[in-house]
Amino acid sequence: MKKQLLALAVAAALPMGAQAGVTIYGHAHASFDYTDNGDDTRADVSSNSSRLGFKGTEDLSDSLKVFWKMEWQVSLSGDGARGRDLAQRNRYVGLKGGWGSVLLGRNDTPTKKIGRKVDLFYSTQMGENRILTAADGLDARLDNVVQYDSPKFGGFSVHALWSAHPTLGTTAVNNDSDVMEIAGMYSNGPLFLGASYGSIDNGADYYRLTGSVKMGGFRIVGLFQNQDVTERDTWGLGASYQFGNNVVKAHYYAIDSNAVTIGGLDDGAEQISVGFDHKINKRTMVYGTYALIDNDSLGTFRLGRAGHDDVTAGAPGEDISGLSLGLRYTF
């Protein structure tokens, strides 16, 4: 009821034509982290991609509707001076019908989405798979996006994206490189499968394969990706077991050395993450996570991505470990 009243209050402040189907959503996610980067230990409070968003739809006819989303990342730890307070997230407007949907704006790529589908530490818990999978820019949120999403046909859907002038990790050599991606997803009961292929017009190609299966309380996940500019593979396997409102989980990921930037020297890494989640109710979760990164002699991978930002890397080759105790509330 309170959420509905808040949405109505926001809608009342908007122009009359914008009041249809406004929803306020987001989550507040913070954790206490204790980390060791090989050179030093430290304790921090991290705001882990906490966010606030507004979205809505409006029927234009019996067969056509407009939809939109505006979302911001919000800092709970008071560290907005470093650019994490009210940072841009997904923002777009689009049209949807029986033929599927088309949107224009800023959005996560299909490659990123199929990777998040199999991340047991999703929503920026310490130990998430993006520690390694994002190394070559393959977990991107791009500007200047045109995206098509098909309807589902027996659990299968197709997603295609084009983005003008992005900066995509280490793969974009200038600001005039367009990205094209296409992905297929299949979801049917306990089974999920995802595959994506992307191409950047500076000559870089990449692909990702993901999958998960549930068997009773058990879930098994896997990911493999390749980026041809750096000539390296990243892969991982994980498993979880749910009992009541609790989940125990673990995964292992590994990334090869970058064959181009530093001539194939050892800058890869291995990652192990274990965790325990407890849902207090459907909106509130507490958890504990331990993560370890075993860097190669020149590896500089660290525990932080969108969250745990104060977990800096030590000297090249140092192992990094961390313990995180977190609270996430979704609204």
Per-residue pLDDT of 95-143, as tens digits, reads 999 999 999 999 999 999 999 999 999 878 899 999 899 887 888 899 9
Can you tell me the distance from the alpha carbon of 218 to that of 96, in angstroms, rounded to the nearest whole number? 36
For 157, the token pair is 């859907």
Q: How far is CA 323 from CA 9, 118, 253, 276, in A?
A: 40, 22, 18, 12
Inform me whether the pLDDT recorded for 84 exceeds 50. yes
215 exposure class (CB count in 10 Å sphere: 0-12, 13-18, 19+):
exposed
What's the one-letter identity of residue 278? H
* Phi and psi torsions of 305, nearest 5°: -130, -110
pLDDT in tens, 293-312: 999 988 888 886 545 555 55
Q: Are 269 and 299 in contact (CB under 8 A)?
A: yes
Q: Are 150 and 253 in contact (CB under 8 A)?
A: no
Inform me whether the pLDDT recorded for 319 exceeds 50. yes
Inform me whether the pLDDT recorded for 175 exceeds 60. no
The pLDDT value recorded for residue 52 is 95
Can you tell me the distance from the alpha carbon of 164 to that of 180, in angstroms, rounded to the nearest whole number? 9
For 4, the token pair is 């509905």
Which is more confidently placed, 204 or 35? 35
Can you tell me the distance from the alpha carbon of 100 to that of 242, in angstroms, rounded to the nearest whole number? 34
The pLDDT value recorded for residue 221 is 98
Q: Which of 5-14, 136-145, 218-227: highest mean pLDDT?
A: 218-227
What mean pLDDT is predicted for residues 45-50? 87
Can you tell me the distance from the alpha carbon of 251 to that of 240, in angstroms, rounded to the nearest whole number? 9
**Residue appearing with tokens 């959420």:** 3
Can you tell me the distance from the alpha carbon of 13 to that of 24, in angstroms, rounded to the nearest whole number? 14
DSSP summary character for residue 6: H
Whole-prediction pTM: 0.87
Confidence tier at 263 by pLDDT (50, 70, 90): low
The pLDDT value recorded for residue 18 is 44
Range name among 4-13, 208-217, 244-253 with the lowest pLDDT average: 4-13
E strand segments, 177-264? 179-188, 191-200, 205-215, 218-227, 232-243, 246-255
The answer regarding whether domain 2-330 maps to CATH 2.40.30.170 reads: no
| Average pLDDT value over all residues in the chain | 86
